[in-house]
Amino acid sequence: MDATISGLDGEFDLNAAVMVNGQFTGVLKIMRADCDVSFVDMQIAALAHLAAGAADLPVPQVINRSDGAALGHIPDKDGAMRLVWMLSALPGRQLGNHRPHTPALMTQIGTALGGLTTAL
């Protein structure tokens, strides 16, 4: 894949927007050095569960590698192996870059999170 990547905010891990031909197509996730594979496996299983049972929710899909695997490993600058995986992009903007945070927007987010909780 010929792509351009740029950093995205993340809580624990490195996240990057993947742009192909100028279009936001995915999020590359590079997990922290001590991340257990079971943590990512759980996230992948949760996304599959949501995709199967909550088609009305905007849920990204895992983009498998060319060999069909969902996860890969790459060394960081210190030689520590990091888990890497990729998700499809969803339309919209990062909440941190959106202003104002109106009551209507917060209600929409709450409704979506309620639907997500119910679906899980």
Domain coordinates in residue numbering, the chain: 4-119
Q: Between 4 and 94, whose confidence is greater?
A: 4
| Sign of the CA dihedral running 78, 80, 84, 90 | negative
Summarize pLDDT for 54-113 with one digit per residue, the tens: 888 889 999 999 999 999 999 999 999 999 999 999 988 888 888 999 999 999 999 999
Examine the pLDDT at 50 and tell me if it is beyond 80. Answer: yes
More confident residue, 19 or 2: 19
pLDDT band at 21 (very low <50, low <70, confident <90, very high): very high
Percentage of the chain beyond pLDDT 90 is 79
Would you state the pLDDT for residue 23? 92
For the cut 70, the answer to whether the pLDDT of residue 1 exceeds it is no
With 0-12 / 13-18 / 19 or more C-beta atoms within 10 angstroms meaning exposed / middle / buried, residue 110 is exposed
Provide the pLDDT for residue 101: 93
Mean pLDDT of the chain: 93
Domain 4-119 bears CATH identifier 3.30.200: yes
**CA geometry: angle at 70 spanning 13 and 50, to 5°?**
85
Whether the per-residue pLDDT at 17 is higher than 90: the answer is: yes
Residues 120 and 118: their CA atoms lie apart, in Å, by 6
